[in-house]
Amino acid sequence: MKKILILSVFLFLGLTFKAFSQTVYTSPKGEKYHTADCRLSGEASPVKLADAKKAGKGACDICKPNELGKAKLNQCSSKTADGTRCKRMTANKNKKCFQHQPK
């Protein structure tokens, strides 16, 4: 019983740490933070979610980065023009980022 309690505490702490260390993308002049595959992120750079909130930035209404922390993210399964695998992460069921969605 004691082992289960200790394991539960470590699991809870690990999930809490993961939530605070979520990476989002924002630009210095922008007012919102985005996910990696958001079409509005542009040339945004990666920052920790906690840092973006401290800077007074809000969540993007298009990509909803706060909800993606709860969703399972997958790396895009498509290939780039140079033949390497796309590095964007996505929660889409077809495992393709916004740029590689079928038209």
CB atoms inside a 10 Å sphere around CB 29: 5
Q: What is the pLDDT of residue 34?
A: 86
Inside any domain, residue 59: yes
Inside any domain, residue 33: yes
| Residue given tokens 């702490």 in the structure block | 13
Inside any domain, residue 30: yes
Contact 63, 40 (CB under 8 A): yes
Low-confidence ranges of the chain (pLDDT < 50): none
Q: What is the pLDDT of residue 54?
A: 92
Inside any domain, residue 84: yes
DSSP state of 79: B
Q: What is the pLDDT of residue 13?
A: 57
What is the count of structural domains for the chain? 1
d(CA 10, CA 48): 22
Q: What is the pLDDT of residue 49?
A: 86
Inside any domain, residue 7: no
d(CA 15, CA 12): 5
Inside any domain, residue 10: no
Q: What is the pLDDT of residue 82?
A: 92
What domain range is 94 assigned to?
18-98
Inside any domain, residue 76: yes
Inside any domain, residue 46: yes
